[in-house]
Structure 1
Amino acid sequence: MAKHYCEVLTMDSNLPLDKQLDIGALSRLFSSTTNSYKLLFFMAILDSLQESLFKENKIRVNDLIIGMLRISFAPAKKFKLSFGSQDQIHCYIDEILSHNNQPEVTKISDTSFKKTLKQGLYKSSAIKLGKYVPYRLLQPFFEDELRGQKDAVKNKITENLAAANYDVRLPLYRIVDDYSGTYVELHPKWMEYIHLNFPILNGWVEVNWIKYLQSRNPNTPAILNKIHSYAKRNTLTKQRSLWKEYLNRYASNCIFSQVPITLANHDLDHFIPWNYIGHDQHWNLIPVLSAANSSKNDSLPSQAYINLFVASQRDFFEFCYAQNKKNAIEDYVVGLSTTANKLIESADCFNDTLAKVVSSQLEMAKIQGFRANWKYMD
């Protein structure tokens, strides 16, 4: 019965079977997840193993906490995703940054943030993650023994069970204290399993991470593009080429500055910031004065600009439709959830549809924490 239960869980989670290891327990690591900590801790373990080329199975808990915060930085601060009302990761990052007088978060590199974490972790509240998170990942391996136990004693029982059964039940790791602190010692059999199946395990935890973030950010687009510090924008080469074709034929003013747009003085701006919207669809792109684009950065433009934006977008869409620019037209159809015929047959239909989508997205981005009501000041 236990074996069948393990196989069902394994098949459902797409984790490879192993006759010696309790893959069922591994598959249940994130079955009850009220905050991000277990997910982040496991991802930090995978990162640490990969960095050591799977040669080091003893990992300091404080190093794993640093890994957790590094993984969290981009989705939490750059993309402003919520981790849930109970989760304190945002607070821990803010605390460490404030103690170290860091500049605006969008300008912090991964390397400098790692250095900041190493300098500030021991003075921050984040250090307390080590007092309970490592035990949570072991508990699925000892569910029968822990059932009915009070939370106050579960950690100690878990630690003792993992130590006593390290070479019998083969838990993921055991927790060891020495003169310099606490570390987790991964079992050699699990090291071998993780090394052999690393791409699958990495993909599995990433899927769980995305699901977790989606559940706490249900109205936020492009979660997949917001989970890594190395997430980058595309070059917009095709979009710029199409706008260049348009600007060669028609005069256009910057919607923020009212300065006439030339081929030399503009950038192609994401009206709703890319860090929120997460895509490069034509309906959200507009040529603006380079100085205005630089000033706006990741801010949300004032609602006062929406009518000018919509009017410029309507002219551009009509051009794309007349020239049969199928990819651009598809962007509007998909992004605005309508048909090309409806958008082209009535200016009012186009204006109302785009204005509603943009207003709604700006409002949701504001709620998520993006700076709102930006206006260009020459």
Structure 2
Amino acid sequence: MKEYDNINTNKKILLNKMLDPSKFTTSYKIMWFYAIYKEMLSGHKKASIKKLSANMVSAAYYPIEHENLDFGKLDKLSDITFYLKNNLKIDTLENEDYICGYIMGSNDEKLNEMVIKLGKYVPYRLIRSFYDDFIKDKEYKICKKMPDAYINKYIQELNEEKDDIDVLYKINKNGDMIEFCESWIKYVMENKNSILYLIKHKLISYLETKNPNDNKIEFKLGRKLATDKNLSF
């Protein structure tokens, strides 16, 4: 039992590290983890990068387009939500599942291009915490900092090779699909309420830096839908 508690404590520490908003320039890591959280709660053991990116957009759509929350200048989620609202005429009150389904089924080239680009780097950056020691050791050996593109490639290699690391997920070689770690699925399912609270808290902390004069951010993240058991924020 003590060993099980230690494992959960380690996961909690890693989760807080992964979602530390003080190091973020965009909301991507928080929104990406929320997308993973939703897929796990739906009973899925893997998901495409595009599906998770679509989940990110669908979760951001209401707070950005209906509540006018600023996600930051470097955050491209607002570009996609703007396109959905103004070019594709998606109602700002549509729920997350509808928007995600719309994106996944759309043949709009520009929309697909933006969504695919969104998921190009964040899958690697979220799990960097699991490989920090390897990255630091590599940089020490080559006596310089590695550029982001090289770090992503190195994380991909480590993700494939290091089976002894209890990483959140594995990214396939094509970089278009991820498979969730069983132990993390179990952890999320057993702690789903506290984890959702943590996600909301981290997102609010991030958005407070972009919306300093708004004291009602927590009420603008989403709506509780009576027909949806997996509620939005």
TM-score w.r.t. length of structure 1: 0.51
How big is each residue's C-alpha offset from its partner over 1:240-261, in whole Å with a ceiling of 9 and x where there is no partner?
xxxxxxxxxxxxxxxxxxxxxx
2:59 and 2:96 in contact (8 A); partners too:
no
Matched, 1:117 2:103: yes
**Which residue of the partner structure matches residue 221 of structure 1?**
215
Q: Give the whole-Å Cα distance in 2 for the aligned partners of 1:199 and 1:230.
A: 15
Equivalent residue of 1:39, what SS? helix
Count of aligned pairs between the two proteins: 209
**Which residue of the partner structure matches residue 37 of structure 2?**
46
Letter paired with 1:83: F
2:58 and 2:97 in contact (8 A); partners too:
no
**Which residue of the partner structure matches residue 363 of structure 1?**
none
Q: Give the whole-Å Cα distance in 2 for the aligned partners of 1:149 and 1:184.
A: 24
Once the two structures are TM-superposed, the CA of residue 111 in structure 1 deviates from its matched residue by: 5.1
**Which residue of the partner structure matches residue 229 of structure 2?**
none
Matched, 1:203 2:194: no
**Which residue of the partner structure matches residue 174 of structure 1?**
170
Q: Give the whole-Å Cα distance in 2 for the aligned partners of 1:95 and 1:83.
A: 16
Q: Matched residues, percent identical?
A: 24
Q: Give the whole-Å Cα distance in 1 for the aligned partners of 2:49 and 2:211.
A: 29
Matched, 1:33 2:27: no
**Which residue of the partner structure matches residue 159 of structure 1?**
156
Letter paired with 2:156: E
2:66 and 2:93 in contact (8 A); partners too:
no
**Which residue of the partner structure matches residue 83 of structure 1?**
71
Letter paired with 1:126: V
**Which residue of the partner structure matches residue 139 of structure 2?**
none
Q: Give the whole-Å Cα distance in 2 for the aligned partners of 1:45 and 1:217.
A: 26
Structure 1 residue aligned with 2:59, among 43, 46, 71? 71
Once the two structures are TM-superposed, the CA of residue 90 in structure 1 deviates from its matched residue by: 0.8
2:51 and 2:100 in contact (8 A); partners too:
no
Q: Give the whole-Å Cα distance in 2 for the aligned partners of 1:23 and 1:121.
A: 40
Return 5+ residue gaps in structure 1 as ranges.
Answer: 1-15, 233-378
1:26 and 1:140 in contact (8 A); partners too:
no
1:269-284 matches, within 5 Å, as none
How big is each residue's C-alpha offset from its partner over 1:267-288, in whole Å with a ceiling of 9 and x where there is no partner?
xxxxxxxxxxxxxxxxxxxxxx
Once the two structures are TM-superposed, the CA of residue 107 in structure 1 deviates from its matched residue by: 5.2
1:66 and 1:121 in contact (8 A); partners too:
no
Once the two structures are TM-superposed, the CA of residue 48 in structure 1 deviates from its matched residue by: 1.1
Letter paired with 1:113: I
Letter paired with 1:47: K
1:225 and 1:231 in contact (8 A); partners too:
no
Once the two structures are TM-superposed, the CA of residue 23 in structure 1 deviates from its matched residue by: 4.2
Once the two structures are TM-superposed, the CA of residue 146 in structure 1 deviates from its matched residue by: 1.9
Q: Give the whole-Å Cα distance in 1 for the aligned partners of 2:25 and 2:216.
A: 22
**Which residue of the partner structure matches residue 230 of structure 2?**
none
Return 5+ residue gaps in structure 2 as ranges.
Answer: 137-144, 227-233
Between Structure 1 and Structure 2, whose CA radius of gyration is higher?
1
1:224-243 matches, within 5 Å, as 224-230=218-224
Tell me which of the two structures has the higher relative contact order, counting C-alpha pairs closer than 8 angstroms and 6 or more residues apart. Answer: 2
Q: Give the whole-Å Cα distance in 1 for the aligned partners of 2:96 and 2:147.
A: 40
TM-score w.r.t. length of structure 2: 0.80
**Which residue of the partner structure matches residue 125 of structure 2?**
136
Once the two structures are TM-superposed, the CA of residue 157 in structure 1 deviates from its matched residue by: 0.6
**Which residue of the partner structure matches residue 307 of structure 1?**
none
Once the two structures are TM-superposed, the CA of residue 75 in structure 1 deviates from its matched residue by: 0.8
Equivalent residue of 1:64, what SS? helix
Q: Give the whole-Å Cα distance in 2 for the aligned partners of 1:220 and 1:36.
A: 17
Once the two structures are TM-superposed, the CA of residue 89 in structure 1 deviates from its matched residue by: 0.7
Once the two structures are TM-superposed, the CA of residue 131 in structure 1 deviates from its matched residue by: 1.2
1:110 and 1:229 in contact (8 A); partners too:
no
How big is each residue's C-alpha offset from its partner over 1:93-128, in whole Å with a ceiling of 9 and x where there is no partner?
22244443x15x445454543343223387221211
Once the two structures are TM-superposed, the CA of residue 151 in structure 1 deviates from its matched residue by: 1.2
